[in-house]
Amino acid sequence: MPSLGFSARVARTTWRVVPKRALSSVIGWAAGRHIPATLRPLILERFARTYGIDTAQAEKGLADYARVDDFFTRRLRPGARTIDSAINSVVSPADGTVVESGLVANGQLLQVKGVLFDLEELLGDSESANRLDGGAFLTTYLSPTDYHRVHAPVGGKILGWTHIPGLLFPVGATSVAREPGLFVRNERFVTFIDQGDAGLCAVVMVATVGVGNVTAAYDPEVETHGRSFLRAAVRRRRYDKPIAIGKGDEIGTFHMGSTTVVVFAPGRVELEGLSPGQSTQMGQSIGRLSPASSGHE
């Protein structure tokens, strides 16, 4: 772990003792309050200006969003994003900023220079971690500015999901740099996709302070801040009949901001040269599928 300056150590200590889940509950409660129709354009325009949100890309007009959460989790207007149509392309699952990318090595992923974290801990599933060890990964940070729905980077069938309750540390660049193991300490929701010949893919939605909830587009049962989810240490569901999903189809929604980590089967995906700090948009090509080879599952 790189050495930290005094202000970073103070911030780290402060965030370790702050009641992050209580704070997130308050933020989620406020974001879920109904806004009188006459006040919506004023309040939401100010919210958009504060966070640099392009309201022209929203599916609806500001007056049509009854709550801040409705606007924050807005869908985009048709045509605002294009899903790369090349048959072998892999696409970005979300708008955001690249944190790190590379290959999983000995079950470890790079969080930031000098800091690693464990794939099995991230996924909450040892079998899947073994299948993905050695594969390509991409970590993307979603700021409040960004579109907050997460989409499938590849087509295939959803095998199931795992929810791992945890902490709610901030996940911005400064927090990632100062808090070791951040992505395996925070709450996570993992979707497992079988890509057929291209092997397994895991799409991990990492929660953060202020996230009121994570919901899944493919399963109405999923509401990660519902009581049944918060009670369980780890909750899993595997489908008897896997659910078909196309490249670019919606997987889930962050109700406020966070991070995605996508991990692919070894030898099956080659990512483009993605540098930390680079912006991505949902649907743009981030790599390509490699021909299936024996010995990789």
Taking the C-alpha atoms of residue 60 and residue 112, their distance in angstroms, rounded to an integer, is 38
Query: Does the annotation count 151 as an active-site position?
Result: yes
Taking the C-alpha atoms of residue 175 and residue 111, their distance in angstroms, rounded to an integer, is 11
C-alpha to C-alpha distances, 40 to 33, 86, 149, 209, nearest whole angstrom: 12, 41, 22, 25
The amino acid occupying position 289 is: L
What strand order describes the sheet that includes 269-271? 89-91, 285-289, 269-271
Closest by CA position to 279, among listed 143, 136, 150? 143
| Spatial contact of 173 and 276, defined as CB atoms under 8 Å apart | no
Return the DSSP state at 209: T
Could you say which of 69, 70, 95, 133 is catalytic? 95
Q: Tell me the β-bridge partners of 58.
A: 76
- Residue 140 CB partners (closer than 8 Å, separation 6+): 92, 93, 94, 96, 97, 98, 99, 259, 260, 261, 262, 280
Could you say which of 151, 163, 225, 255 is catalytic? 151
Query: Does the annotation count 69 as an active-site position?
Result: no
Indicate the SS3 state at residue 199: coil
Taking the C-alpha atoms of residue 102 and residue 110, their distance in angstroms, rounded to an integer, is 8
Return the DSSP state at 105: B
Taking the C-alpha atoms of residue 204 and residue 117, their distance in angstroms, rounded to an integer, is 14
Active site residues: 95, 151, 258
